[in-house]
């Protein structure tokens, strides 16, 4: 039964990707015709995200919530980082994950935005401006202000967090064992871009590297529609891209666990293993092993 369901999902995936490749590229007589889709392709582009199945609380035998860091310096995670400049030269539909999230917030398609990973302090776009942009008087502007002269917009230096400044993502999700299906599954709950504090952008790389903060947290189910509209570049076959929603739900990234829910107020690994990167990585692997081994133990006992 499981193999049959997997085969059906694979067919849907291949059908969707075939239709969502860069359209009309080989038939275009002028560059402006590239991207023009026929009715079948337009219908395929409007496919909604695969719905999560309903999970009854009584079916959950065991669960564990964890927090992970996705480091964009790792090659496997590059698809979430590039392109860093959204100028449309590469392609009008190629965007970094940060650009996709920000465009969704600006257009009002993503509304569940919070300041913490417990989703208890909701933010508006105006609130985000304080986190993403800093206006500071330039040295010339300060001189003019001290001399009693009027200060104009040209006298301000403006610093902004753009895609190239986002070097990590933090994700929050829950692993749970569904006793009705007899399998271990994962459900992503939240995602947060991580970048240097905007106040350090003028202080150099070292200050920026020491001031990494999660800019905001997005309730992941609310962002799925927007993530499903945008494609990730497929380095192995550029004619068959995959959506950000599929990438994240299938966990096609490398990550490191930095926190798990625990009795000690969900403290982070670095809070009980001090200044020892190797032991912190070993602790992260230990937590992964606890999760992975739970399913195996169900069938070995």
Q: One digit per residue, pLDDT tens: the chain, 301 residues?
A: 445 444 444 444 444 444 445 566 666 666 655 666 666 665 566 678 888 988 999 999 999 999 999 999 999 999 999 988 875 555 667 899 999 999 999 999 999 999 999 999 999 999 999 999 998 888 888 888 788 888 887 888 888 999 999 999 999 999 999 999 888 999 999 999 999 999 898 888 888 888 899 999 999 999 999 999 998 988 788 777 889 999 999 999 999 999 999 999 999 999 999 989 999 999 999 999 999 998 888 777 5
Q: What does the pLDDT read at residue 129?
A: 92
Q: What does the pLDDT read at residue 272?
A: 94
Strand partners, 190: 172, 219
Q: What does the pLDDT read at residue 265?
A: 92
Q: What does the pLDDT read at residue 70?
A: 97
Q: What does the pLDDT read at residue 223?
A: 97
Q: How far, in Å, CA of 127 to CA of 122, rounded?
A: 9
Q: How far, in Å, CA of 16 to CA of 187, rounded?
A: 23
- Give CA 224 to chain center in angstroms: 11
* Structure tokens belonging to residue 96: 């970094």
> Residue 281's closest CA among 64, 34, 69?
69
Q: What does the pLDDT read at residue 32?
A: 56
Q: What does the pLDDT read at residue 207?
A: 85
The per-residue DSSP string of the chain comes to: -HHHHHHHHHHHHHHHHHHTSSTTTTT-SSGGGTT---HHHHHHHTPPPPPPPP--GGGEEEEEEEEEEEETTSGGGHHHH--SS--SSS-TTB--HHHHHHHHHHTTS---EESSTT--SB--HHHHHHHHEEEEE-HHHHHHHHTTPPP-GGGEEEEE--GGG--EEEEEEEEEEETTTTEEEEEEEEEEEEEE-GGGTTS-HHHHHT-EEE--EEEHHHHHHHHHHSEEP-SS-TTS-EEHHHHHHTT-S--EEEEE--TTTT-BHHHHS-S-HHHHHHHHHHHHHHHHHHHHHHHH-
């Amino acid at each position: 039964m499981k193999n049959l369901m997997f085969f059906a999902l694979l067919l849907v995936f291949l059908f969707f990707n075939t239709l969502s490749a860069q359209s009309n590229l080989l038939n275009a007589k002028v560059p402006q015709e590239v991207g023009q889709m026929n009715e079948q392709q337009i219908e395929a582009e409007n496919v909604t995200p695969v719905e999560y199945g309903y999970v009854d609380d009584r079916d959950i035998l065991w669960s564990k919530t964890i927090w992970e860091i996705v480091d964009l310096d790792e090659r496997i995670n590059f698809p979430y980082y590039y392109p860093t400049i959204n100028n449309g030269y590469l392609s009008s539909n190629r965007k970094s994950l940060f650009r996709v999230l920000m465009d969704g917030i600006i257009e009002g398609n993503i509304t569940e935005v919070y300041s913490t990973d417990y989703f208890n302090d909701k933010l508006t776009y105006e609130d985000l401006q304080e986190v993403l942009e800093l206006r500071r008087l330039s040295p010339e502007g300060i001189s003019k202000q001290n001399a009693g002269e009027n200060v104009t917009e040209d006298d301000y230096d403006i610093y902004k967090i753009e895609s190239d400044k986002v070097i990590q993502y933090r994700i929050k999700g829950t692993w749970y064992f569904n006793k009705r299906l007899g399998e271990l599954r994962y459900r992503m709950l939240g995602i947060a871009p991580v970048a240097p504090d905007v106040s350090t952008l003028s202080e150099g790389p070292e200050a920026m590297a020491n001031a990494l903060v999660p800019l905001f947290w997005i309730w992941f189910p609310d962002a799925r529609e927007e993530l499903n509209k945008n494609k990730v570049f497929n380095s192995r076959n550029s004619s068959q891209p995959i959506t950000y929603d599929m990438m994240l739900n299938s966990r096609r990234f490398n990550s490191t666990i930095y926190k798990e829910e625990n009795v000690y107020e969900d403290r982070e690994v670095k809070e009980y293993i001090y200044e020892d990167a190797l032991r912190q990585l070993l602790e992260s692997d230990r937590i992964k092993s606890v999760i992975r081994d739970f399913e195996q133990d169900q069938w070995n006992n």
